[in-house]
Amino acid sequence: MNVLVIGAGALGSLVGGVLSRKHNVTIIGRQEQVDVLNREGLHIRGLTVGDFHPNATTGYPADMSFDLIIICVKSYNTELALDHVAPHIKETTFFLSLQNGLNNEELISEKLRADNLPGSVLGGITCHGVTYKGPGLVKHAGKGDTFIGLYTDVRDEKTRAKVEQIVQAFNDAGLEVELTGAIRREIWAKTIINSAINPLTAITGSRNGDLLTDRYLREMMDNLVEEGVEIARSHDIDITVEELIRRTHAVADRTKNNISSMLQDITRKRRTEIESINGALYDKAKLKNIYAPLNRSMYHMINAIQRQYMKED
């Protein structure tokens, strides 16, 4: 396949590098990233070890169309990532979001509809722990489940077969992926888990495992999960509090020494993804007239923190 990966950060580098074992992969990144990738290649260390040489560019390559476009940018850059995509897609192109939060798949679908473009949309979630060490170097520190599934109901057998081929391509390249018919549920579940871990660690400066050992943080984490599940169920997502608390605790324990991505963003004075996580959950709650004070508080507090340093810029 011709594969385009938009985003040369931690996850984009892991996915692009591994898929380049078997496929023609192009990665879109910033100039400093692209320079290193083209000059020295992409180096992955940790649980996955390899030196890879995908194509790298700062924009869509001319005169080339893609079978699979994987979006790995921050959620607030989803629309920007799709600018100028039209000449590079065909009827059989698939878009796969491997981003955090809600609404990314909707934004991609809306873009295709608004511009009358072909293509099918896949949703995806991954719990791999990947750390960006700098341009061309990432550490694969932890393995986790990865699910991919069609985001819209498609009954066409050719489309379903192609999705199975994409999943198999990941597995053949060495990244274990499971095909699911309930990708919306998995996206909601991951968003709720992130909503309970990320802002609490960012506000308190804690590592993920501290949310389990500090009784006050643990109670707040569980309460956020409960509120998130109530919102999800109001949108016909079949999920329970018991399952999500168990899964959230498991993630916090498995990544107990990790610094969450939101805390890393706060520390580096970068924009966070709070809008697509707690902010999106709060918006979904308002649509169903549900009172969601915890997600609202997390959303406002993180925004207040990042507004202070964004003003400095």
Residue 7 Rama label (left phi>0; alpha psi -120 to 50; beta):
left
Which residues is 132 bridged to in the sheet?
138
Instruction: Say whether 288 is catalytic.
Output: no
Q: Which residues contact 238 (CB under 8 A, 6 or more apart)?
A: 185
Q: Please report which helix (H) or strand (E) contains residue 11, including its range.
A: helix 10-19
- Rounded to an integer, what distance in angstroms lies between the CA atom of residue 227 and that of residue 219? 12
Answer whether 3's CB lies under 8 Å from 67's CB: yes
Catalytic residue among 74, 111, 139, 190: 190
The neighbour count for residue 94, using CB atoms within 10 Å, is 23
Most distant pair of Cα atoms in the chain: their distance: 57
Task: Of 248, 264, 265, 246, give the one whose Cα is nearest residue 256.
Answer: 248
- Rounded to an integer, what distance in angstroms lies between the CA atom of residue 300 and that of residue 285? 15
* Two tokens, residue 37: 């990738």
Answer whether 139's CB lies under 8 Å from 133's CB: yes
Task: Give the catalytic positions in this structure.
Answer: 190
